[in-house]
């Protein structure tokens, strides 16, 4: 019995290696054809699919095929960063008020809300995002500042027409909603483990409860919250369907404004695979494997970083009385 179980335990490891091997194997023609310039170009051109295939870089490909991953990588990273900037303060504030102020019955209700938000399929969030949230954000929220932002180098990004509700801003908000539950729930559980006596000590020194939260509670849980946030970042980087629905799916051009259409790696794979299959040389499909590999590397780095942070907090911060 243990021997059988032993074999089964290797399934995740084997699967992980198999996934990576399959992606690398499939991506080899694209890696050879696209070269290092892949990460610097912005074009996304399948080439002339009706012309005879030609050979170049040791790969048969349609004439004129040129791929660049820069807009995809930038779109992925920027939209996830926006999500993180929105989600972390909201999640921490929510967890603080739930743990410190709300009666248990209400905080159970909030917990239910978080579970529902975490459980709602991303395709449903995308549906709501494209028809309800997106138009609301572009017509009623972005307009508050879009025309008043000064026309200076960095802030210019937030200036200009607020779009139709499909784009970077909406995607950032949708992603923020999707990673809120994991950050808020983790922070809440960590806050509940902060030893009562230390907080009481801070209050006994004459602090207000917000000062006690800032000086004792938050530092106590900080690295755990960072870990949960990076975990959320990993989710946001890999989120596909909701972003594919609200991003506007702009392939082949860099994002130029906070409200403009864009695309991410994951959304590109899901929206472009159908079209890529029409490329008889298989280069388009191979290129999608290559961007998939890039996405895998980015998310794995984020996830491993998060696990290390969370593990560190789990082994050092929990014993009562340490550190203070």
Partner 1 sequence: MTVATAPAGEVQPASATGSFGRRRARNVVMWTLCSIALALVVAPVVWLVAGIVAQAVPDWRWNVLTTNQLGNGGGVLNAIEGTFLIVAGVMVLAGVVGIAGGLYLAEYASARHGSLLRGASEVLSGVPSIVLGYVGYIALVVALHWGFSLLAGWIVLSVLVIPYITKTTEVAIRNVPTSYREGGDALGMRSGYMLRRLVMKPALPGIVTGLIVAAAISLGETAPLLYTAGYNSKGPSGALTHSPVGYLTYDVFTFYNEPYKSAQHLAYEAALLLIVLVVLLIVVSRFIVSYSQRYSPDRQQRVTGRWRRGAQPAEARSAQPPLDAASPPPPPRA
- Interface residues for partner 1 in 147-166 (CB under 8 A)? none
Q: How far is the CB of 164 from partner 1 (least distance, A)?
A: 14
**Contacts of partner 1 in 296-315 (CB under 8 A):** 296, 299-300, 302-304, 307, 312-313
Q: How far is the CB of 111 from partner 1 (least distance, A)?
A: 9
Q: How far is the CB of 191 from partner 1 (least distance, A)?
A: 8
What is d(CA 33, CA 41) in angstroms, rounded to the nearest whole number?
13
- The residue within the footprint of partner 1, chosen from 269, 281, 283, 287 (CB under 8 A), is 269
Q: How many CA atoms lie within 13 A of 197 on its CB side?
A: 5
Residues with Cβ within 8 Å of 121's Cβ and at least 6 positions away in sequence, in order, are none
Q: Of the two residues 208 and 254, which places its CB atom closer to partner 1 in the complex?
A: 208
Q: How far is the CB of 6 from partner 1 (least distance, A)?
A: 6
**Contacts of partner 1 in 102-131 (CB under 8 A):** 102-104, 107, 110, 112-117, 119-128, 130-131
Binding segment toward partner 1, per CB under 8 A, in 36-44, 153-161, 219-227, 252-260: 219-227
**Is the Cβ–Cβ distance between 138 and 169 less than 8 Å?**
yes
SS3 37: helix
**Contacts of partner 1 in 58-77 (CB under 8 A):** none
Question: Does 324 sit near partner 1 (CB under 8 A)?
Answer: yes
- The residue within the footprint of partner 1, chosen from 138, 171, 186, 240 (CB under 8 A), is 240
How far apart, in Å, are the Cα atoms of 9 and each of 4, 116, 203? Answer: 9, 31, 49
How far apart, in Å, are the Cα atoms of 15 and each of 23, 28, 78? Answer: 12, 20, 30
- The residue within the footprint of partner 1, chosen from 33, 38, 220, 259 (CB under 8 A), is 220
What is d(CA 272, CA 72) in angstroms, rounded to the nearest whole number?
12
Which of 116, 257, 117, 131 has its CA nearest to residue 179? 117
């Amino acid at each position: 019995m243990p021997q059988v179980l032993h074999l089964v335990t290797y399934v995740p490891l084997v699967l992980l290696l198999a996934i990576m091997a399959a992606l690398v194997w499939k991506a080899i023609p694209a890696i050879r054809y696209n070269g290092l310039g892949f990460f610097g170009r912005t074009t996304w051109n399948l080439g002339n699919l009706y012309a005879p295939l030609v050979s170049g870089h040791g790969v048969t490909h349609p004439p004129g095929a040129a791929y660049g991953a820069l807009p995809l990588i930038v779109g992925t990273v920027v939209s996830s960063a926006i999500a993180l900037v929105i989600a972390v303060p909201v999640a921490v504030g929510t967890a603080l008020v739930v743990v410190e102020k709300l009666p248990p019955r209400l905080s159970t209700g909030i917990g239910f809300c978080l579970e529902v938000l975490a459980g709602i399929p991303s395709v449903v969030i995308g549906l709501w995002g494209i028809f309800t949230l997106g138009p609301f954000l572009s017509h009623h929220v972005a307009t508050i500042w879009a025309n008043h932002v000064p026309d200076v180098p960095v802030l210019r990004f937030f200036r200009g027409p607020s779009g139709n509700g499909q784009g970077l801003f909406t995607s950032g908000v949708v992603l923020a909603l999707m990673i809120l539950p994991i950050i808020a729930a983790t922070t809440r559980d960590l806050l509940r483990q902060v030893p009562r006596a230390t907080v009481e000590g801070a209050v006994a020194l004459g602090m207000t409860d917000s000062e006690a939260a800032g000086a004792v509670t938050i530092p106590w849980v900080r690295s755990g919250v960072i870990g949960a946030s990076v975990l959320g970042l990993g989710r946001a980087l890999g989120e596909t369907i909701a972003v594919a629905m609200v991003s506007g799916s702009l392939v082949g051009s860099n994002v130029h404004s906070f409200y403009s259409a864009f695309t991410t790696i994951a959304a590109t794979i899901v929206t472009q695979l159908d079209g890529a299959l029409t490329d008889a040389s298989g280069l388009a499909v191979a290129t999608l494997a290559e961007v998939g590999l890039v996405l895998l590397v980015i998310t794995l780095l984020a996830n491993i970083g998060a696990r290390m942070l969370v593990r560190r907090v789990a082994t050092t911060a929990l014993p009562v009385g340490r550190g203070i």
